[in-house]
Structure 1
C-alpha cells in the first residue's frame, strides 16, 4: 500500500508543479499550487478524523482498511487514464487530493489500532520498528517507482500503483479474525469521540509526544518543496526528484532496522527530544544546500532522526493507551501526523510563495529546534521518561 501511495503522491506533486510552471506561473506561484494540494488533503482529514477513530474502535479494522485501499485504487485508475489521454489538469489533481485526504483519515487509525492486537505486549516496540520499516521501504521504493516510471511513460506510475493496491487489499484479507475491544465509558458515539480526545489531553506523556511531532514536522516540512528543488534549484529533473524523496526514507529504514534488533531501553524521552533537534538541523542544511550530494546527505539524516523520534513516540503512545481507546487515540495521533505532513505542506508552500523556497525550508528547521526547547519545558515528563514501561494501571492490560 505504501509503495502505491508514495509513487502516486510524488507524481501528483511533480505534475502539479510542472503544469503550473508550464502554464507560465513563477516559482513562487507554482509553489503555492503545492501548498493547495496539501491543504486539500488536510481539510477532509481534519474534519473526518474524530469519526475515523471511533470507526476504528467500533468496526472491523481490517475491512475498514481494505475499503480505504479500494478508494486509492480508484484514484490511481482515474489518474492513469487522465494522464494516458493527456487530459490531466490541476482541477483533477486537486479533486484526487481531496479523496486521498478522506482515505488517510480512515486508513491510519484502523491500521495503527490493529497492530497492538496482533503481537504480545512485550515485543510491541520491536513490532512497531518492523512495521515502520515496511512503511519506510515503501517510502524508499515508492518515489523511485514514481519518478523513474514517469520518465518512461507519465501514466505508468499510476498504473503500477493500482496493481499494488490490489495486492495490499488481498494481503489484509489474510489476517485472521481479531476480537473487537469493548468500549468502556459513555455509549453515545459523540461522547465516545470526546472521551478519546479527553484521554489524550489528560495524559501528558501522550499529549507531549503527539504535539512535539505535530509542531516540529509542521514547521520543517521540506518534502512538499522537493519538486521546486529538483526542477529549479538543484536542476536534477524527475530522476533527481525521486532521489530526493528516497534519501530520507533510506535513513529512516536503516534506523528502523537498527531498533528492530537493538530496541531502545533507556532515556527514551530525552532521546526523542534530541532526535527532533537533529531533524531541525538537518532540515536547515538541506534548505541552504545547492549541491545534490550534500542535499541527499542532509535528507538522509532528516529521515534517520525522524524515524528515531517516530519509533519512540509510537511505542509510548501505544503502550500508554488502553486497548478500548487505541482507535480514538490513534486517530488523534494520525490527525496530528497529517496536520504536520499535509498541513505542513500547505504551510511550507505558502511560506515559499511569500518568502521563497530556501527561506521557507531554513525557517522551518529553526522552528523545529525552537519547538524542542519549548516542549522540554512545557512537558517535563518527556525529559524524565527513561523506559517504555506503561503505568501500573495499564500494565495489566491483556493485549
Structure 2
C-alpha cells in the first residue's frame, strides 16, 4: 500500500518539487561555503546527499520501496492539516508549533516537509563539522575529507530523513548542544552550551535527562575549588536526582519490582519490535538485564530478546554493519582516540548507558543511537584518512 503522505500527488507537484530542490541546493551551498566555510570537495558530497535523498523520495512515490515508519503519520498530519494529533505524545508540541511555520513554507505538503528536513539534517552535519574545526583544528583537515563520505554511506541517515519525521531537528539540536559542550569544556563558554541544551530539549523533552547531568558534571569539573567541595556537590547532585526519581517520577517505594512495572507499562503501547519485558525481584536482576538492553541498543536490529529476521529490515541491518565497522575502527585506534577525544568518548558512553537501558524498540534504537554514531564518525574520520594516505604512499612506492 502506498504511503499516505504520497496520496494526491499530481504531475505538476513534481515540477514544484524540482523548484524546491533548486532553492534548497542553492541555500545549502551558500551556507556551507560562506557561513560554515566547508571545503568545496566536501561541500559537494553534502549536496550529493541532498540530491540522493531527493531522488530516492521521488522514486519511492512511484515504487513504494522504502519502509513505512509509523510515526510519520503524526508529522504528515500536522503539516497537511495544521492540527495537533490528539493521539500523539506531548513531547512533539514544540515541533507542532514549528510545523505551523514550516507548513507555510512547504505549502502544507508532507513531501516538501521531508525536503526541508533533509536540508536541516545537512545543516546539522555542517554544525558538527564547524564545532570540530573550532576545537580540533589540527585534526580538522582529515575529518573534513572523510566525514562527508561517511555521512553519504550512513544508512540511518537515509532511513529516517526520507520520511516526515523529527530526526533532523533532534540531530540539529544535538549538534548545537555538542558544539556548546566542546566550547564549554575547552574554552569555558557557557552561552553556547545553554542555548544548545534548550533547543535540543525543546525538540525532544526526554533528552532533559541527558542534558542536565552533563551540564552538572561540566560545571563541577570546571569549578575552581578543592576536591572535598566537589565531592560534596557530586554526592548532593546524585542525592537530588534520586529524590526526584523517587518522589516525582516513581512516587512509590524505589524497588526493582516497581521499576520493572514502569518499564513494562511503556512496552504495552510501544507497537511492533518491542523488547525487554522486565521481571525484576532484586537490583542485581535489574543490573544484569540492563547490560543486555545496552547490547540490544547497539546490536539492533539483531534480535536478543525477540524473534525477528534482520534480513526483513535491510536498511536497519545495513546500519548495524556500518556501525560495527565504525566501532571496529574506534577499537583499533582506541589509544589515540582516547588521548585526544576523551571528553567526547565519555559523553557518548553516558548517552549509550542512559538510552540503552531505557530503550524498548528495535527500530527506535536505531533512530536514538544516531547522535552517538555521528560522534563516532567524527572520531574515526582522522584514523581512516591516515590509513588511506598510508595506502596511497605504499601504492606510489
Q: Same fold (TM over 0.5)?
A: no
Q: From the two aligned structures, give the one with the greater helix fraction.
A: 1
The structure with more radius of gyration: 2
Q: Could you say which structure has the greater relative contact order, defined with CA pairs below 8 angstroms and 6 or more residues apart? A: 1
